[in-house]
Chain A
Amino acid sequence: MTLNRVEIERLYKKHGPMVHRRCRALLGDEEEAWDAMQEVFMRLLKNNAAFRGDASPTTWLYRVSTNLCLNRIRDKKTRARKLAEPDPSAATRPGMGTPASFDPERRRLVLSLLEHVDEETRRIVVYYFLDEMTLDEISELMNLSAPTLRKRIKHFRSVAGRLLGPRDSAGMTFVSVMLFIGFLSHGTRWGF
């Protein structure tokens, strides 16, 4: 390892809970989040220069955690159910199903749609719809312009509409309302 134990302990105490919380919010599983957190720290050890070069350690960790978790979600069989039964005590653990985690329905919906868009758009979608970041924040995090972000979000919404819409008339109504409210909510930001 490139850092000594004292330094690792300092970083763990300062950033460990945040990284774990983020991984758990995205992966939806305590154990997976623990594994993912360790991988994030392993990347930190391997890319120490990049970590220190970033304006904010939290920003670097947030970005790496997001990328790693999205890769995990992409690569495991996302459409198959997990073989193990979910831990019944998971809902009572701190942070699970509390305001610190994402709204379960929103998370489920967004993650189910991610596989239909490219990897960069997935990250944008997570930051925008789950983290509720502003376009400026996402722009800074991903080094993409606001017009590019708007275009990708618009594309995601059209994909969502296509996938969710045609199933039934209730679905069409739901998607229409969703898109309309989303448009209204972001209308001022987009200058409409």
Chain B
Amino acid sequence: MDLLATHRSDSEGAECPSRYQLELYLAEELPEDVSAKVETHSRGCSRCAQLLNACRADNDAFFERHSFESFYQSLEQLVEKSEALETALENNATLPATETRQASDASRKLQQKDNKVFSWMKSWGDLLSSWSASLRSPLPLGAVMAVLALLTVGPLLLEEYVDAPDTPQGVRLRSGIIAPGALEVYLLRAGEAGPALSGHVFLEGDRLQFVLHPGSYRYLHLVSFDAEGRLTWFYPQDGGTSLALPPGNDVFLPGSIELDDYVGLERIEAVFSRKPISEQVVRDAYEAMKAGRELPLPLDRMPPVAVEDALSRTFLMVKE
């Protein structure tokens, strides 16, 4: 089957006009002599005659389905959104939260476990406040809090980030606190949901959901690339400038990604930043990382994409 061969010619052997030329003909934008040739040709060519008739029928059906009123309303809304986006980006503001989906029970349990640490710290803080008030302590509360913070956070600052093999990929400290710029991935397979682990095997049809802990990094690009060097944008869905994240530290990205039938290594990369960055910046950084390397890319041994003033987190998948 010669799918990439050109179209067939008509019975007299003259070449058929392209679709583009037929559209120009229908729009009456061809020079007179060319238009006459197209008309003559289409009378003798069943293929082109059929195509022209189909376009004319399509034109009629289009207006039955899409009135100008509905189009104009949608266009106005699109223009308003576009102008709002431009204004928000200029002001470095955060856009209204996008729709989020409810997390699975497994992800809720995981967050509850992490929140215990914060609850513990808050309890100590409350206790300290009541103690200080009841004893009318001469010590400035701030000084006491500072000492407490030093005792609690100090060791954490000295800890290295650990990607524990039995916990979701993310920046998780030994104490259980999730540091800013963390990416958690959840797997939905055969109706079951649970934390997904970096470096594990994934199958066609698996669906992934993402939970972010951006901290002060309010903007995101989430992309994937495979060992053949192909780059795909997950969020923002149409590429462009970074996705602005809503406030809060548990951000559920809307929707889920269904994995295709690609076999081999594939890596998801979350590029967090404090200011919006363009898609091209991320692409350039990706190209720089890939430069000089042979295919297939050793994704398991390559560093995260390096983007200035941004934080990159990776999640590796072995696709089978």
B288 interface hit (Cβ, 8 Å): no
Q: Tell me the chain B residues, 39-66 only, with Cβ under 8 Å from chain A.
A: 47, 50-51, 54-55, 57-59, 61-63, 66
Q: How far does the alpha carbon of A106 sit from the alpha carbon of B62 in the complex, in Å?
A: 25
In the bound complex, do residue B232 and residue A58 qualify as a contact, i.e. CB atoms below 8 Å apart? no
**Which of A21, A39, A133 interacts with B18 by CB under 8 Å?**
A133
Residues of chain A within 8 A (CB-CB) of B66 are 16, 20, 34
Residues of chain A within 8 A (CB-CB) of B54 are 95, 98-100
Residues of chain B within 8 A (CB-CB) of A179 are 4
In the bound complex, do residue B5 and residue A182 qualify as a contact, i.e. CB atoms below 8 Å apart? yes
Q: Chain A 128-167, CB within 8 Å of chain B: the 1/0 string?
A: 0101111001000100000000000000010010000000
Q: Tell me the chain B residues, 254-309 only, with Cβ under 8 Å from chain A.
A: 255-260, 262, 279
Q: How far does the alpha carbon of A94 sit from the alpha carbon of B61 in the complex, in Å?
A: 7
In the bound complex, do residue B257 and residue A77 qualify as a contact, i.e. CB atoms below 8 Å apart? yes
B33 interface hit (Cβ, 8 Å): no
Residues of chain B within 8 A (CB-CB) of A106 are 3-4
Residues of chain A within 8 A (CB-CB) of B256 are 83
Q: Chain A 8-43, CB within 8 Å of chain B: the 1/0 string?
A: 110011111110111000000000001000110110
A72 interface hit (Cβ, 8 Å): yes
In the bound complex, do residue B68 and residue A109 qualify as a contact, i.e. CB atoms below 8 Å apart? no
In the bound complex, do residue B233 and residue A99 qualify as a contact, i.e. CB atoms below 8 Å apart? no
In the bound complex, do residue A16 and residue B71 qualify as a contact, i.e. CB atoms below 8 Å apart? yes
A90 interface hit (Cβ, 8 Å): no
A169 interface hit (Cβ, 8 Å): no
Most central of A18, A71, A186 by chain B CB within 10 Å:
A18
User: Which A residue's beta carbon lies closest to that of B232?
Assistant: A77
B75 interface hit (Cβ, 8 Å): yes
Residues of chain B within 8 A (CB-CB) of A99 are 47, 50-51, 54
A50 interface hit (Cβ, 8 Å): no
Q: How far does the alpha carbon of A1 sit from the alpha carbon of B75 in the complex, in Å?
A: 10
Of the listed stretches B24-32, B122-130, B149-157, B159-167, name the one at the interface; the rest are far from the partner chain: B24-32
A90 to chain B, nearest CB (A): 12
A77 to chain B, nearest CB (A): 5
Residues of chain B within 8 A (CB-CB) of A39 are 78
Q: How far does the alpha carbon of A72 sit from the alpha carbon of B233 in the complex, in Å?
A: 10
Q: How far does the alpha carbon of A13 sit from the alpha carbon of B63 in the complex, in Å?
A: 8
Of the listed stretches B91-99, B171-179, B234-242, name the one at the interface; the rest are far from the partner chain: B234-242
B120 interface hit (Cβ, 8 Å): no
**Which of A21, A34, A56, A132 interacts with B7 by CB under 8 Å?**
A132
A45 interface hit (Cβ, 8 Å): yes
In the bound complex, do residue A109 and residue B29 qualify as a contact, i.e. CB atoms below 8 Å apart? no
Residues of chain A within 8 A (CB-CB) of B57 are 94-95, 100
Residues of chain A within 8 A (CB-CB) of B230 are 79, 115-116
User: Which B residue's beta carbon lies closest to that of A39?
Assistant: B78
In the bound complex, do residue B68 and residue A12 qualify as a contact, i.e. CB atoms below 8 Å apart? yes
A62 interface hit (Cβ, 8 Å): yes
Residues of chain B within 8 A (CB-CB) of A52 are none
In the bound complex, do residue B21 and residue A157 qualify as a contact, i.e. CB atoms below 8 Å apart? no
In the bound complex, do residue A181 and residue B20 qualify as a contact, i.e. CB atoms below 8 Å apart? no
In the bound complex, do residue B6 and residue A132 qualify as a contact, i.e. CB atoms below 8 Å apart? yes
Q: Chain B 80-117, CB within 8 Å of chain A: the 1/0 string?
A: 00100000000000000000000000000000000000
* A-B contacts, 12 listed (Cβ < 8 Å): A17-B59, A21-B55, A42-B75, A42-B78, A71-B239, A72-B238, A83-B207, A95-B54, A98-B54, A100-B58, A131-B20, A132-B6
Which residues of B are interface residues toward A (Cβ below 8 A)?
Answer: 1-7, 16, 18-21, 23-24, 26-27, 29, 47, 50-51, 54-55, 57-59, 61-63, 66, 68, 71-72, 74-76, 78-79, 82, 207, 224, 230, 232-234, 237-239, 255-260, 262, 279
A8-B72, A72-B238 are known contacts; what are 15 more A-B pairs with Cβ within 8 Å? A1-B76, A13-B68, A17-B58, A56-B24, A56-B27, A58-B27, A75-B233, A75-B238, A75-B279, A77-B260, A80-B257, A80-B258, A83-B258, A137-B18, A137-B20
Which 3 residue pairs across A and B have the least CB separation, nearest first?
A75-B239, A94-B61, A100-B54
